[in-house]
Structure 1
Amino acid sequence: MQTKPELLSPIVNIAKRHHYRGVTLDFFMSCWKVIIHAIEEKVNSLTGYDAEDVHYLQSVIRKTYDACETLFLKEWMETQVDILQDELMKSNREMTLSKNKYQNIFDGVSDLIIVTDSNGNIVELNTAAKKYFEKYLNQENLCVCDLLGTDCDSLFVSFWGLSDDDEKYITLNRNDHFLMKVCSLDKVAQNYKGYIVMLNDVTGVVIRNQMLKNEVNKKTSELRKSKKFFQSIFSSTNAGIFIFDSDFKVYTQNRTAENIVGMDAQHLNNLGVNSYLIIEDGSGVTNVMKNLESNSTWSGELRLNTCNNTIYILATINAMDVEDEKFYSLIFIDISEIKNLEYQLVSEKRMVEEKNIALRNVIQAMMDENEKNIKELCKYASFQLESMLDEITTESRYEVRKELKSNILLKMRSFKDEFHDSEQSDEFASLTHSESIVCNYIKAGYSSKEIAEKLNVSIDTIQTHRKNIRKKFGITDKCINLYSYVKSNY
C-alpha cells in the first residue's frame, strides 16, 4: 500500500496552522508521535481480528507516520525559507526607512553635526553644518580641527576624552556660541571607529544670559546702594527701631534704640519682648503683633522698661513678609517729656479749678455780705427818711419844711455815697442796678446760665444785660471778652 499525499492534506493543513502559530517542528513531531503511539495501542487492544489484519493495520499506521513526517519536514523547511526571505526583505525595508528617517533627521536638525573617523577627518556633515562651514568645504582632507579652529592634539585632549554625557561650550567666529557634545561611534558599531560631534547653537541663550547677568549686576548694585541708604537711615535716625522675627525675638535694632534701652539684642531676647514693651492696659505687645496681617500697622503709646527706668514711647508696629518669613518693625520716639508736661498741665489745671472754686465761694460770700449790707442800709435809710417825711408832713412852716427837705436830700446823697464805690468810673456808674449785679457776677467768672439761676431770671434777660453793659462800656469789638475786660478794668 502506498500512501497518497492528497489523503494526508488535512493533517498537513493542521501542521501548517500550528507552524504559523509559532509551534516548532520538534514540538509538533513529539505530539504527533504521541498520537501515533496511542493509535497503535488502540489497534493492539482490538479483539476479534486476525493477527494478519492487526499487523496490516500497524504497517499502515507506520507508513502514514513516515509519510507525514516527511511532509511535515518539507512544510517546515519550505516555510522557514519563505519566512527568512520575508524577514530579510522586511528588515531591509525597515533599515531603508530608518536610514531615510535618520537621514532626514540628520539633515533636518538645526544643530551642526559632524561625523569623523578615528583621526578626526571629516566623513560627513549634515545640511546645517555644510551651510555654516561652507567656506571650508572645498579643502581636501578636511579635519574637524580646521572647522573648530584648533589643533587636533589640543582637540583630542580637550574633547575626545569627554564621556557621552559631557558637554562643553565653544565659540566660533568670535560671536557664535555653541554647546559641543562628542559621541564615540564604536558604541553604535563595534568595528566602526570614529566620532559624532554635535554643536548646538546657544548664541541667543548666551546673549540672553549675558543680558540677564548685566541686569542682575545692575539690580545687585542698586540693592547695595539701597542697603547702604537703609543702613545709613537705620543707624542715624533719631527714632528707635526694633526688627522682630516671627518668634518675637529681636532680629536687629538701630543705635538709637540700643542707646535708649541700654541693652543689646541678646539681653532683650533673654528678657522677652512682653517684659520691656507694655501697652497702657498692661497687656504684652505680642498680642498686637499676632493680630497684625501682612503690610498692616498699629500705632499707640507703650511703656518701655529700660535698664535705668521706665519711659513712655509713641510706637508704630508694621507686619511684613520677607521671603515667606514674617517680620515686625517697631519704630518709636521717646515722649516721656511730653507725658510729664501733660501730667503737669493736668495738675495745674486741677489746682486752677480748685482756686477758681474757692474764689467763686469768696465772691459769693462777699456778694451775699454786700446784699445784706444793702438791705440793712435800705432799712436804715427807710427808717431815717420816714421820720423826716413824718416831720415834713406835720410841719406847717415853710422854712422848716424847706430845711427838712434839704436834710432829706443830703441824707439820700450820703446813702448813695455809701452804696457806690467812690473810685468807680462813670461807665460803671452808668449801669442800672440789675446791670451792676450782672456785671459783678461776670467779674466773678459766672456764666450766663449760672447768673440766670442765681437771679431767678431767663438767660435771654442776662444776654440783654450783657449787650447793654458792652454798649455802655464802649466795647464794639466782638473779639473782646466781657469777662476779661471787666476783670482788668473794674
Structure 2
Amino acid sequence: MQQNITTRQPFWDLLRQLPSEEESYLERWSLRMQQAGYLSLTTAKRDDCMNALDCFIKPMQSHYQLGVTSPDFAWLIQNHDQWAQPQIETARNHQGRGVTWDMYLGCFKTFLHSLFDVIDLLKAGEDEKHGARNHIRLYGDALEVLFVKDWVQRQPEAASHQLDQVNRLLTLEKCRFENILNTTSDLIFVIDSHGIVSNINTAVQQVLPNNEVLNAPIWESLPIEGRTMDEILKYYPVTTAFEVAPFDDGNIYRMQLSPISNVSLASDEYLLLLSNITPQALQRETLERIVSERTEDLLTKTSQLEEMNITLRNILKSIDKEQEGIIDDISSKISTFVLPVLDRIDAEPDSSIRKGYVTIIRDQLDRLVHGSKLANPVLLKLTFMETRICQFIQAGHSSKDIADNLNLSLETIQTHRKNIRRKLGLHGKNVSLYAHLKTIGLTF
C-alpha cells in the first residue's frame, strides 16, 4: 500500500463539506439521473441518497484518519479492510431487485458527477477542487471494479431467489401502506404535475361516492383556486396549511400539499391531504366569540371608568376651585375684619376699649371657625372720641355729664351722638342709643 502520512491534503476541507451540501447534492444528482434517463426508473428515496453519500465518504475519512492520504488504486481494489463492503451490499440489493449491472454502474456514474458538480460550486482554489475530484474519482474507479467483480461472481439462481424475496417484501410493504392510508379518516389525493388525480384512499371514496375522481383534474373534485398545477401551487404553496370547506356538509378541513419528491426523487407527483378539523374550528370560533364578547364588555367598562374619571376630575377641580374661593374669602375677611382690630388694639391706650376690641376679634374668629357669616364690627366704625362717648352713654350718663367729664361743649357731644347713630344704622329710627348699645352687647 502506498501512502503519504506526512503531507496534509488541502482538498480534504472540500470533501468534509460535501455532507453539509445536502440540497445541492440532491438537486445535482436528480438532474444527472434525468439527463442519463434513469430518474423515471429509480425508486430511491431522499434518505437512500443521503445514505449513499455517507457510505461513499466514510471510507475516505477512515483512511485519512489512519494517515492514508494518497491510497494506491491496487490496494483499494483488494478491499482488504472491507472499506467497500457497504457499497457492495447496496449493489447486491439492486441486483436482487432486477437492476442490470450496466444500469447500476450508469447510476453510480451520475452519483460521482453530482459530487463533481457540488465541488465546483464550493468556494475554493482550483488546485483544491482538482485534488478533491481526483480523490473521488480514485475511490469511484475502485468501487466500479469491485461492483463488477462481485456482480459476475454471484450465482444467477441466488440472484433470482433474492429477487423473489424482494418482490414479496415489496408487495407486503405496498399492502401495509395501502392499509394504513385506507384506515385513516384523512382524505388523501395523489395528483401528478398536471393536476390529474392518480390515486385516492377509501376516505375520499366515502365523501365523494358518486364522483369520478380518478384520472380527472383535482379542481373538478375540489372547489379550490387554480386550473393548472402551477396556479394551484401559487395559491397553495407546499408544506403550508390552509383551512377550506370544500363540501356542502358544514365540515372544515385543513388542506396541505406535499411533493412526493421529498420521499422519492423519481416522482413528480404531489400528495394533497385533507384533515377534518371541524371540532377544533368550532371550538376556536366559540373561544373567539367569548374573547370578542369579553373584550367588548371590557371596552365598555373601560369607557365607563374613563367617564367616571372625567367626572371625578371635574369634581376635584370644582372642589379645588371652591377651596381656593374659601381661602380667598377667609383671607379677605381676616384682612377686613380681624387685622384692623389688631391694629386698633395696638394703638389703643384705654384698657376698656382694648377689651372691647378683643371681644370683637374673638367673635369674628369664632364665626370663621364655625363657618358663620362675619358680623360687621361696630367699634371699627367709631372714632376714639365716639368710643369714649359710647362708654359714658352705656354707663347711663347724660349728654351734659359727658360734656362736663370730657371738657367738651354740649353741642360737640350732640354732634358725636348723631355720628354714632348714623354709623350704627340708627339715623331716622326711633331707637334709644343707650338701649341699642345694650342690645348689641358691646363691652367697652
Confirm or deny a common fold (TM above 0.5).
no
Q: Name the one with the larger strand percent.
A: 1
**RCO higher in 1 or 2 (8 Å CA, sep ≥ 6)?**
2
Larger radius of gyration: 1
Q: TM-score normalized by structure 1?
A: 0.33
TM, length-normalised to structure 2: 0.36
